C-alpha cells in the first residue's frame, strides 16, 4: 500500500508569492495534519483536518490556510510568503478515532525555499 | 506552552556501542508519548506509542521505557549500527476533534560510525 504522498518535493518561491502544497493520505485514513519543520527544531503543528473540517490549528498567522477534499486529500496554502516560511512542510495522516495513541503516518515532506 | 525536551541534542557513537537518550514532558494530563525515527531525506517513521506508566516496548535492538509520574521516557539502542543513524523524535499528543496533534521535541541526532 502507498504511504502518505506529498507534492512537490521541492519548491522555490520569492517573497510575497503564494504557494500550494498537496498531500494524499494513506487509503482509509480520514484525518490529515500539517506540520512545519525548520532546521534545528522539531516539527510544529499547523493544522488538522477531518471530514473536510478544521479540527485543530497551531500558532500560525492567517496567511496559512488549508482544506481537505472529499477524497481526504489536502492542500496547504501560504500567502504573502516571507523568508521565514522557508522550511520542510510535513503532512501526516491517521485514523481519527480521537485517541491520543493514534499513530500518525508522515509523508516525506515538501521543502519550500523562499528567496 | 507545552514543553517537550530531548537530550542530548546530538550523539556520536561507534558501531556496536549501546546508547540511550531522554525525552521529558509534562507529567500532568498525560495521554500518550510517541517516538519517531527520522532518517535524512525520508519520512519520519513511528517507532512506539507508549501509554502506561512503567510501559516498556521493544522493536529489534531498540526499546523504550516510560515514567509518566516524573514525566520522562528513555529510548535505548543496543549494539548500534550505521543504519541506526537518524534523528529520534519524541512527541506529546493533545486531543483534537479529529484525532490528536503532536508537540515534538527538538530531537536527538544520532550518528553511528564504523
Query: pLDDT tens-digit profile of B12-26?
Result: 999 999 999 999 998
pLDDT at B54 exceeding the cut of 70: yes
Residue-level pLDDT at B1: 62
Instruction: Summarize pLDDT for B63-100 with one digit per residue, the tens.
Output: 999 999 999 999 999 999 999 999 999 999 887 766 67
Tell me what the mean pLDDT of segment A31-51 comes to: 93
Residue A72 near chain B (CB below 8 Å): no
Chains A, B: CB contacts under 8 A, how many?
Answer: 99
Residue B99 near chain A (CB below 8 Å): yes
b vs e for A36-65, b when ≥16 Cβ sit within 10 Å of the residue's Cβ?
A: bbeeeebbbbbbbbbeeebbbebebeeebb
Partner residue facing B49 (CB), from A4, A56, A103: A103
pLDDT at A97 exceeding the cut of 60: no
Residue-level pLDDT at B31: 84
Residue with cell 506540520: A35
Distances (CA, A) of B45 to A20, B36, B89, B90: 25, 5, 10, 11
Cβ contact A101–B93 (<8 Å): yes
Question: By CA distance, what is B31's nearest residue in A?
Answer: A100
Alpha carbons A38 and A50: distance in angstroms, whole number: 25
Residue A110 near chain B (CB below 8 Å): no
Residue-level pLDDT at B98: 62
Alpha carbons A63 and A20: distance in angstroms, whole number: 12
Residue-level pLDDT at A2: 80
- ∠ CA(B10), CA(B12), CA(B15), 5° rounding? 140
Cβ-based contacts of A103 with chain B (< 8 Å): 34, 46, 49
Alpha carbons B43 and A104: distance in angstroms, whole number: 11
**Percent above pLDDT 70 for chain A:** 94
pLDDT at A96 exceeding the cut of 70: no
Tell me what the mean pLDDT of segment A74-87 comes to: 98
pLDDT band at B2 (very low <50, low <70, confident <90, very high): confident
Residue-level pLDDT at A107: 97
DSSP letter for each residue of A63-95: TEEEEE-TTS-EEEEE-S--GGG-EEEEEEEE-
Residue B40 near chain A (CB below 8 Å): no
Average pLDDT score, chain A: 92
pLDDT at A98 exceeding the cut of 60: no
Residue B18 near chain A (CB below 8 Å): no
Alpha carbons A91 and A7: distance in angstroms, whole number: 10
Tell me what the mean pLDDT of segment A15-35 comes to: 95
Burial (Cβ within 10 Å: 0-12, 13-18, ≥19) of residue B40: exposed
- The least confident of B34-43, B88-97, B105-114 is B88-97
Q: Sign of torsion, CA A61 A105 B36 A54?
A: positive
Residue with cell 508537540: B103
Average pLDDT score, chain B: 92
pLDDT at B35 exceeding the cut of 70: yes
Residue A20 near chain B (CB below 8 Å): no
Tell me what the mean pLDDT of segment A38-49 comes to: 93
Partner residue facing B46 (CB), from A35, A56, A105: A105
Amino acid at each position: 500500500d502507498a504511504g502518505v504522498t506529498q507534492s512537490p518535493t521541492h519548491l522555490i518561491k520569492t517573497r510575497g508569492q503564494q504557494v500550494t502544497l498537496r498531500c494524499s493520505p494513506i487509503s482509509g485514513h480520514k484525518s490529515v495534519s500539517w506540520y512545519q519543520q525548520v532546521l534545528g527544531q522539531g516539527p510544529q503543528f499547523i493544522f488538522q483536518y477531518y471530514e473536510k473540517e478544521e479540527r485543530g490549528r497551531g500558532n500560525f498567522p492567517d496567511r496559512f490556510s488549508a482544506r481537505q477534499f472529499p477524497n481526504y486529500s489536502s492542500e496547504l496554502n501560504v500567502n504573502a510568503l516571507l523568508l521565514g516560511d522557508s522550511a520542510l512542510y510535513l503532512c501526516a495522516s491517521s485514523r481519527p478515532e480521537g485517541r491520543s495513541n493514534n499513530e500518525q503516518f508522515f509523508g516525506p515532506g515538501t521543502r519550500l525555499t523562499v528567496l | 506552552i507545552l514543553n517537550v525536551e530531548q537530550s542530548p541534542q546530538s550523539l556520536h557513537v561507534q558501531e556496536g556501542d549501546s546508547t540511550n537518550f531522554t525525552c521529558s514532558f509534562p507529567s500532568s494530563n498525560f495521554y500518550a508519548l510517541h517516538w519517531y525515527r527520522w532518517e535524512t531525506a525520508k519520512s519520519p517513521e513511528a517507532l512506539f506509542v507508549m501509554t502506561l506508566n512503567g510501559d516498556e516496548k521493544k522493536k529489534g535492538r531498540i526499546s523504550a521505557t516510560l515514567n509518566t509520574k516524573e514525566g520522562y521516557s528513555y529510548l535505548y539502542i543496543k549494539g548500534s549500527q550505521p543504519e541506526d543513524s537518524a534523528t529520534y523524535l519524541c512527541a506529546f499528543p493533545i486531543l483534537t476533534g479529529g484525532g490528536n496533534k503532536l508537540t515534538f521535541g527538538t530531537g536527538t541526532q544520532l550518528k553511528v560510525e564504523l
